[in-house]
């Protein structure tokens, strides 16, 4: 294994500052505290809670986090301004992340200043922050495009004036791993952090190059959130340290997926399904050869066990499935086909997959029941549903169902007509089962307002989880159909 510069990598998480600068993302103080608490629990060293100069809401969030009694250092972003430093100190933070533009481009175009002026402001700000009792992480913004001699002497002067740590920022993601060793400033007796952006997809590689050549702390964000293409993802640095570099991080890796899901939910930034470590498909197999291999020995097609990051392996069925994974799925659902029946079921699943469909659990059950000639009476039968929505109406739905032969009517309001309809269905069956909606996904199959829409839902009843589909030109009807299909399966599986 290739050794990193330090045996102990520190993690400076900026999800709540740089991550929150993701276009369209805005967190409330309570949400920021929830994320900070999760970051603290997982073992992050420094939490950059926000920028106190930004708004009163930001200050409230920073104060909440600073006062929460976390082990992690609570840090606030500041410019080289006494005003920013005062606001940060008044929030009760431990440290400031003092960001100084250092490239001539940023100094001239962004600030309209000179190197001399920036030098003077930066050192004054360091001295002032130290007077206010703060730990100072002194950051060179756009350092990868700066005159490296200027950067080196500014860093040395900052340390002489009391800066505790330094940080090299590749602000627009233009570094390459090969260039890192040449541009990292000489160590000035202060620990060095690396802050990378992923504009060209090199953030992780550049971060590791820096960790090999002198940096001891990685600036990261959960899920790689951040401006434009984002920052270096926490989960990827942690797992690469642990698995590829043999450098224990001290991070509670089994909490990584929970943290990722929390941040994705609160920021409303969905992850690409193929995102490393935390994407929906990162531990999902469909291909027959892969699934068969994984069922025998997971290391055949999984570099790490999903449990290590708090996840579970999923085998999904589709046209690439082989009989081993279909049989494993059927057995789990309680079906015991003979070899001829299994062949028939596999054939029908592949046919459905060839039509371009994603195969849901409800599809597999319906096929299995047909092939095994199992008589099935639906537990639920929809009699009617009505939805009212409009500019002056609270979205409201009522449904009438036969549930185990009894007629039940339920109603609900919702944030929209689909939400109201699904809640009305849940209310109608509440007396017999607590069925939760875990996931709702809609695709327009063609396009335009007359398009067929495909609704996929994931429902949970205690430990049982099931996926099902509805496809209609009417999104509400498709949603109701998907939920009824799934509920029918969940109620019957008892
Ligand atoms: Mn940044």
- Assess contact for 282 and 311: CB atoms under 8 A: yes
Q: Are residues 351 and 233 in the same domain?
A: no
Asked if the structure places residue 66 within a domain, the reply is yes
pLDDT at 325: 87
Q: Are residues 24 and 152 in the same domain?
A: yes
Q: How far is CA 3 from CA 9, 216, 365, 412, in A?
A: 12, 12, 51, 59
Q: Which of 258, 270, 262, 215 is nearest to 237 (CA)?
A: 215
**From ligand 1's centre to the CA of 163, what distance in Å?**
20
**H-state helical runs in 273-416:** 288-296, 323-333, 339-354, 361-371
Asked if the structure places residue 272 within a domain, the reply is no
**From ligand 1's centre to the CA of 461, what distance in Å?**
43
**From ligand 1's centre to the CA of 449, what distance in Å?**
40
Q: Are residues 226 and 310 in the same domain?
A: no
Q: Are residues 26 and 137 in the same domain?
A: yes
* Domain C-terminal end among 267, 301, 327: 267
**Full domain range(s) for residue 468:** 380-492
Asked if the structure places residue 247 within a domain, the reply is yes
Asked if the structure places residue 39 within a domain, the reply is yes
**From ligand 1's centre to the CA of 286, what distance in Å?**
37
What is the tally of structural domains in the chain?
3
**From ligand 1's centre to the CA of 366, what distance in Å?**
51
**From ligand 1's centre to the CA of 60, what distance in Å?**
22
**From ligand 1's centre to the CA of 207, what distance in Å?**
13
**From ligand 1's centre to the CA of 170, what distance in Å?**
8
**From ligand 1's centre to the CA of 87, what distance in Å?**
21
The region, left, alpha or beta by phi > 0 then psi within -120 to 50, assigned to residue 252 is beta
* Rounded Cα–Cα distance for residues 19 and 223 (Å): 9
Asked if the structure places residue 225 within a domain, the reply is yes
**From ligand 1's centre to the CA of 316, what distance in Å?**
38
Q: Are residues 102 and 235 in the same domain?
A: yes
**From ligand 1's centre to the CA of 327, what distance in Å?**
49
**From ligand 1's centre to the CA of 127, what distance in Å?**
24
Q: Are residues 308 and 453 in the same domain?
A: no
Asked if the structure places residue 156 within a domain, the reply is yes
> Which residues, other chains included, contact 99 with Cβ-Cβ below 8 Å and sequence gap of 6+?
77, 78, 79, 139, 141, 169
**From ligand 1's centre to the CA of 171, what distance in Å?**
5
Asked if the structure places residue 276 within a domain, the reply is no
**From ligand 1's centre to the CA of 242, what distance in Å?**
25
Q: Are residues 443 and 467 in the same domain?
A: yes
pLDDT at 454: 85
Write the CATH number for 301: 1.10.238
* Domain C-terminal end among 213, 232, 267: 267
pLDDT at 1: 64
Beta bridge partners, 281, equal: none
Q: Are residues 52 and 87 in the same domain?
A: yes
**From ligand 1's centre to the CA of 24, what distance in Å?**
16
**From ligand 1's centre to the CA of 19, what distance in Å?**
8
**From ligand 1's centre to the CA of 138, what distance in Å?**
13
pLDDT at 279: 93
**From ligand 1's centre to the CA of 139, what distance in Å?**
10
Q: Are residues 95 and 222 in the same domain?
A: yes
pLDDT tens for each residue of the chain, 494 residues long: 668 888 899 999 999 999 999 989 999 999 999 999 999 999 999 999 999 999 999 999 999 999 999 999 999 999 999 999 999 999 999 999 999 999 999 999 999 999 999 999 999 999 999 999 999 999 999 999 999 999 999 999 999 999 999 999 999 999 999 999 888 877 778 999 999 999 999 999 999 999 999 999 999 999 999 999 999 999 999 999 999 999 999 999 999 999 999 999 999 998 999 999 999 889 988 877 877 888 888 888 889 999 999 998 888 888 888 898 899 889 888 899 999 999 999 999 998 888 887 788 888 888 888 888 876 778 899 999 999 999 989 999 999 999 888 999 999 999 999 999 999 999 999 988 999 998 898 887 767 778 788 899 999 998 788 889 888 889 999 999 999 989 988 888 65
Q: Are residues 136 and 44 in the same domain?
A: yes
Q: How many CB atoms lie within 10 A of CB 186?
A: 11
pLDDT at 67: 98
**From ligand 1's centre to the CA of 88, what distance in Å?**
19
Helix (H, G, I), strand (E, B) or coil at 229: coil
- Assess contact for 249 and 236: CB atoms under 8 A: no
Q: How far is CA 160 from CA 75, 95, 102, in A?
A: 21, 18, 18
**From ligand 1's centre to the CA of 172, what distance in Å?**
8
Write the CATH number for 393: 3.30.160.270
Tokens 């050192």 — which residue? 123
* Rounded Cα–Cα distance for residues 123 and 337 (Å): 76
Asked if the structure places residue 305 within a domain, the reply is yes
**From ligand 1's centre to the CA of 53, what distance in Å?**
17
* Domain C-terminal end among 242, 267, 292: 267
**From ligand 1's centre to the CA of 491, what distance in Å?**
50
Against a cut of 0.85, is the pTM above it?
Answer: no
Write the CATH number for 149: 3.20.20.70
Q: Are residues 337 and 407 in the same domain?
A: no
**From ligand 1's centre to the CA of 112, what distance in Å?**
21
Q: Are residues 398 and 318 in the same domain?
A: no
pLDDT at 62: 98
């Amino acid at each position: 294994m290739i050794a990193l510069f330090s045996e102990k990598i520190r993690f400076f998480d900026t999800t709540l500052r740089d991550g929150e600068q993701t276009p369209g993302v805005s967190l409330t103080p309570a949400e920021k505290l929830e994320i900070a608490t999760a970051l603290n629990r997982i073992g992050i060293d420094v939490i950059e809670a926000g920028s106190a100069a930004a708004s009163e809401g930001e200050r409230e969030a920073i104060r909440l986090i600073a006062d929460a009694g976390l082990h992690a250092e609570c840090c606030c972003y500041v410019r080289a301004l006494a005003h920013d430093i005062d606001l940060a100190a008044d929030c009760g933070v431990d440290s400031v992340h003092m960001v100084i533009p250092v490239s001539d481009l940023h100094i001239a175009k962004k600030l309209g200043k000179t190197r001399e002026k920036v030098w003077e402001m930066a050192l004054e700000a360091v001295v002032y922050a130290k007077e206010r009792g703060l730990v100072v992480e002194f950051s060179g913004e756009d350092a990868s495009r700066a005159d490296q001699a200027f950067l080196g002497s500014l860093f040395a002067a900052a340390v002489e004036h009391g800066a505790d740590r330094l940080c090299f920022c590749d602000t627009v993601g233009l570094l390459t791993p090969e260039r890192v060793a040449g541009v990292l400033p000489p160590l000035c007796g202060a620990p060095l952090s690396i802050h990378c952006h992923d504009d060209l997809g090199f953030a992780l590689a550049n971060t590791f190059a820096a960790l090999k050549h002198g940096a001891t702390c990685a600036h990261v964000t959960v899920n790689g959130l951040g401006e434009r293409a984002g920052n270096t993802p926490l989960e990827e640095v942690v797992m690469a340290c642990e698995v590829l570099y043999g450098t224990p991080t001290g991070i509670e890796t089994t909490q990584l997926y929970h943290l990722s899901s929390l941040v994705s939910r609160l920021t409303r930034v969905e992850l690409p399904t193929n995102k490393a470590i935390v994407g929906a498909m990162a531990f999902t197999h469909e291909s027959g050869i892969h699934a068969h291999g994984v069922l025998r020995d997971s290391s055949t097609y999984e570099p790490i066990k999903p449990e290590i990051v708090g996840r579970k392996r999923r085998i999904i069925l589709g046209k690439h499935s082989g009989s081993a994974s279909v049989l494993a799925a059927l057995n789990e659902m309680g079906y015991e086909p003979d070899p001829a029946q299994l062949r028939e079921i596999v054939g029908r699943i592949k046919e459905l997959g060839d039509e371009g469909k994603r195969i849901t659990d409800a599809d597999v059950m319906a096929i299995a029941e047909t092939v095994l000639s199992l008589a099935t009476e639906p537990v639920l039968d929809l009699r009617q549903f009505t939805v009212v929505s409009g500019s002056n109406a609270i979205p409201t739905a009522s449904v009438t169902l036969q549930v185990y032969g009894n007629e039940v009517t339920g109603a609900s309001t919702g944030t929209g007509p689909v939400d109201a309809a699904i809640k009305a269905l849940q209310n109608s069956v509440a007396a017999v089962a607590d069925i939760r909606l875990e996931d709702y996904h809609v695709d327009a199959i063609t396009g335009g307002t007359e398009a067929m829409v495909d609704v996929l839902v994931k429902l949970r009843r205690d430990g049982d989880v099931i996926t099902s589909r509805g496809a209609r030109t009417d999104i509400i009807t498709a949603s109701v159909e998907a939920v009824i299909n799934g509920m029918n399966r969940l109620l019957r599986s008892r």
